[in-house]
Amino acid sequence: MPELIADIAVNAPLKQLYSYRVPAALQTQAKVGMRVRVPFGRRTTIGFLLELRPGAPDGLKEIKELLDAEPLLTPELIKLLRWAAEYYCHPLGLVIRSALPAGLGSDKSTTKILLEPLYSIRQKEQRPRGEKQRQLYDFILEQGSATLSRLREAFDSPHAPLKRMVELGFLQEQQQEKQRDPFLAEPLPVDKDLTLTDEQQIVLTAISAAVTAADFQAFLLHGVTGSGKTEVYLRAVEGCLQSKKQALVLVPEIALTPQLVARFRARFEPQGVKLAVLHSGLSDGERYDAWRAIVRDQVQIVIGARSAIFAPLQNPGLIIVDEEHEASYKQGEGFRYNARDLALVRGQQQTCPVLLGSATPSLGSYYRSQQGAISYLSLKKRSHAGAMPAVELIDLSGQTLEGTLSNPLIEALQQSLEHRQQALLLLNRRGFAPFLLCTDCGRSFHCPNCEITLTFHQRQRQVRCHYCDYAEPPAEVCPKCAGLNIEPQGAGTERLEQELAELFPTARIARMDRDTTSRKGAHQRLVSQMMAGEVDILVGTQMIAKGHDFPGVGLVGVLAADSILNLPDFRAAERSFSLLTQVAGRAGRASGGGKVLIQTFNPEHYALTCAAEQDYQQFYAEEIPFRQELGYPPCGHLVNLILAGNSEGQVQAAAHRLAADLAEAAGAVEILGPSPCPLSRLRGKSRVQILLKSFERPALRRMLPQLERLARQIGKGVVLTVDVDPLDMF
């Protein structure tokens, strides 16, 4: 047998592949896509086998162990991962580790395959004598075979009689893989019998034609809130399955998966279609089992958050990116990929259509649709033909509020309760108050690790950093002046919840933010309570604005609408418009109409006036000239370089050297900085950024190899992070 060389991406921050000899004992089992254990320097590490080739492996180290019985990566997925590693300037081994379910890429992997006994009939000539044994025997004979978990569902305490029948030779026992099923305890939802509107039918016809053609085509589905985009998704996936293809559906956040999964399960599970869910809210074992089922081609539909773009589907016929405008599709740390953009790349590589859907498309997607790079589809009316909600901007300038709620909003809430309608209140700040302040000397309390004030959480009696999770009890005495007047300033969702309870003591009030939904299943319980009408007023951060379909909501209130608008980010207006339009769309979804009140100090800003009118085209017309003039996306392209280290002086010096070296090779690329990041200290590290900007993407791409060479000269103590196409500049 000729000797084999394996090219392996190791789990380390290194770009190149490393070659190893495949020992003779492993040559028949080794396959591309497996995890392996290999010697690396003075230690061993996990690697990912990406190529096998014959050769003379003189002097090469041997693979020590194969960690999988079957490949976890398909050739199609490896191609996508290699493209992503190159484009986002990230080591391939770490890219693969990020793509795999948690626990599989680590040197200390603890995720195991579960096994359980499978019983089948060995002796058919005779039946056992005992009554319990005969019942079990007949059941297994009728089924052909049965797992222990299946028998435990049908019989009480089957272990002893099963063991005895195995000893007597009536049954044979084998070990079979046990699938961890996240839907096991959930009842099958009821499907909605909906009729498509004329608009929906036109959109579906265009998408179905692309699915049938089995060729890459990108669509932007711009549908107002409540226009029935989900029903279009379901029908398009139905056509995809009829073409013997698989479907991949991405949602921006874990919180949105339960409602969408319920709709898909109700539609497709009765037809025998296998669904898999991939997101970090599942256990490591559940994700591992789902991943292996997808690799084995046992799954027709995959639904998941950002990382599900790497699901190892071999034959996708349609990729859907719901709420495509959401910034959460962009990974904020480590491997900083954008799942929406990778969906388009994957569609090209595997020749299948990609559908981007949103009520407020990202400017980038809409801009490309206007350039002809993406096919534009629209749903301009709500599916029930009802009116869009009436939106009113409440001008707070010159007013002094007693609490967080203005009088018009308090009156609207009272009317909503009297009419037995539900209300949503959006306040995009967690906690009781954004900070504590000594009113005697003006001292506030900051995180020792980050350049940010500590948020006060009253129920937990803590002040906490929302970036590094540092927490401490709130001070009772000011450490600066020894004053006792330490007061909470501003309001978060916890404080708003308390204020509402005082104003409306009989109302059923719930809160949806990261603090109340951190436990598994907590978010879904809140959604179920809203759907069942068990909540009168739901208070929450921006997670209540995204994709939820609450038919009983007649009133939406927005507090501190200017908080995002005033951020030092060129996308601030876009994000404000999107968030306000999305949350306004939660009102009146069942029968039309509804009322939306937005409290603001800047009612003349075009982001707010356009959101009030639900006028995307007008917002685009106002915003795009500013982007064109300054060369910001989508009219230009960015790469953000972030240098971080323990020593502020060392980081500053390294950043200035790097900027000077880059300026010599800049060409058509503009070098902005170095300058402190908006959060100049984060998790104990000083941070400086350099922004590379160009009207043409090729100019930036040509600069990246030069950047890799210069990065090696930065020196110890400073880490460089390359963020290609950044969305978050903080």
Distance of CA 366 to the CA centre of its chain: 22
Phi, psi (degrees; rounded to nearest 5) at 514: -65, -25
In tens, the pLDDT along 457-473 reads 998 899 999 999 999 99
Q: What is the CATH number of domain 115-177?
A: 1.10.10
Question: What are the strands of the beta sheet with 509-512, ordered from one edge?
Answer: 390-395, 595-600, 553-558, 422-426, 537-540, 509-512
Q: Which amino acid appears at position 612 of this protein? A: A
Q: Kindly state the tokens that stand for 445.
A: 């309390």
576-585 pLDDT, tens digit per residue, is: 999 999 988 8
> Please, what sign has the CA dihedral across residues 194, 195, 200, 206?
positive
Query: Exposure of 418 by Cβ count < 10 A (0-12 exposed, 13-18 middle, 19+ buried)?
Result: exposed
Query: Could you tell me where in the chain the CATH 3.30.70.600 domains are found?
Result: 637-724
Cα–Cα separations (whole angstroms), residue 265 to 258, 394, 528, 549, 677: 10, 42, 16, 17, 44
Q: How far apart are CA 398 and CA 418, in angstroms?
A: 31
Q: In which residue ranges of the chain is CATH 1.10.10 found?
A: 115-177
**Is the confidence at residue 615, as pLDDT, over 90?**
yes
Say what the pLDDT of residue 109 is. Answer: 64
pLDDT band at 515 (very low <50, low <70, confident <90, very high): confident
Residue type, 570: F
Local confidence band at 108 (pLDDT 50, 70, 90 cut-offs)? low
pLDDT interval class at 573 (50, 70, 90): very high
**Pairing verdict, β 35-40 and 65-66:** antiparallel
The whole model's pTM is what? Answer: 0.89
Decide if domain 390-432+491-626 falls under CATH 3.40.50.720: no
Nearest to 715 by CA among 656, 640, 639, 638: 656
User: What pLDDT digit, counting tens, does each position of 230-267 carry?
Assistant: 999 999 999 999 999 999 999 998 777 778 888 899 99
* Residue limits of CATH 3.40.1440.60 in the chain: 4-99
CA separation for the pair 138, 367 (Å, rounded):
66
CATH number of the domain located at residue range(s) 4-99 in this protein: 3.40.1440.60
- How far is it, in rounded angstroms, from Cα 568 to Cα 565? 9
- Percent pLDDT > 70 in the chain is 97
Residue intervals in the chain for CATH 3.40.50.300 = 198-379, 390-432+491-626
Does residue 185 have a pLDDT over 70? no
pLDDT in tens, 271-324: 989 999 988 777 778 888 889 899 999 999 999 999 999 999 999 999 999 999
- pLDDT tens for 646-688 read 999 999 999 999 999 998 888 889 999 899 998 899 999 999 9
User: Which pLDDT value is given to residue 257?
Assistant: 77
DSSP string, 343-408: HHHHHHHTT--EEEEESS--HHHHHHHHTTSSEEEEE-S-TT-PPPPEEEEEE-TT---SSSS-HH
The type of residue at 159 is H
Q: Domain 637-724 adopts which CATH fold?
A: Alpha-Beta Plaits (3.30.70)
CA 164 to chain CA mean position, Å: 50
Q: What CATH number belongs to 198-379?
A: 3.40.50.300
What is the mean pLDDT of the segment spanning 450-457?
92
pLDDT at position 125: 79
Q: Are 430 and 415 in contact (CB under 8 A)?
A: no
